[in-house]
Chains A and B, each alone.
Chain A
């Protein structure tokens, strides 16, 4: 049979687990936001520089 102490410790454990779960989910969200932002900025810079290089070459070739 569960006594009041056991019930209390189970509730405390559940609260700790819930806090840990929220922390882990916030961690996942923050890492996803960071990685996504860096990827987007990186690829925008890459494609802008590539398109500029092609425009430069076309200008050299055809004036």
Chain B
């Protein structure tokens, strides 16, 4: 009978991270980037793209929704990570703070992604050439993967059982990721 791989989750995390670094440093990234240009051109021709480009009011309305959802998402991340690090709400059990925050995080993330796709359609070619847009997408992808495949499985059964040092490390990583998503997002607004 074949023996199971010890620490399968850790091994797959390490492999995924190594794959990400290889992708970032190899020629594949440049080829992949060039092949995406037709997709971004097509995005501008979609109904969302035409609406976003022709009606400034519609774009502004969706942008307002995007920023409000981002604010809610940031709030849930701040509260849950600050609780994880033992900074706020110390007298409330951690999972009692994390659960409602996670539900709100799911809703706000869905709204952020939906409104973000609409906005990207309106300025697809512009963002395609913006380096900071790709950093934002990378941070967003990392944030989502980290939240659902690392942070949640670790803390869902009982966050109190996780050592404080690890909780702090996870909280700092989560805060840095979502801070980067928000900051690079604002940077896109100021660019071009």
B contact set with A: CB distance below 8 Å: 6-10, 12-14, 17, 135, 139, 142, 146, 150-151, 153-154, 157, 161-163, 166, 169-170, 172-173, 176-177, 180
CB contacts (< 8 Å) of B10 on chain A: these are 27, 30-31, 34
If over half of B's interface residues share one DSSP class (helix, strand or loop), that class is named, otherwise mixed; here it is helix
Could you say which interface size class chain A belongs to?
A: 20 to 34
Task: Say if the beta carbon of A37 comes within 8 Å of chain B.
Answer: yes
Task: Say if the beta carbon of A32 comes within 8 Å of chain B.
Answer: yes
Task: Say if the beta carbon of A58 comes within 8 Å of chain B.
Answer: no
Closest 7 CB pairs of A and B: A36-B173, A39-B173, A31-B13, A31-B10, A30-B10, A31-B9, A36-B169
Task: Say if the beta carbon of A62 comes within 8 Å of chain B.
Answer: no
If over half of A's interface residues share one DSSP class (helix, strand or loop), that class is named, otherwise mixed; here it is helix
18 more A-B residue pairs beyond the given contacts A27-B7, A32-B150, A43-B139, with a C-beta to C-beta distance below 8 A? A24-B9, A25-B161, A27-B10, A28-B9, A28-B154, A29-B154, A30-B9, A30-B10, A31-B7, A31-B9, A32-B151, A36-B166, A36-B172, A36-B173, A38-B17, A39-B173, A39-B176, A39-B177
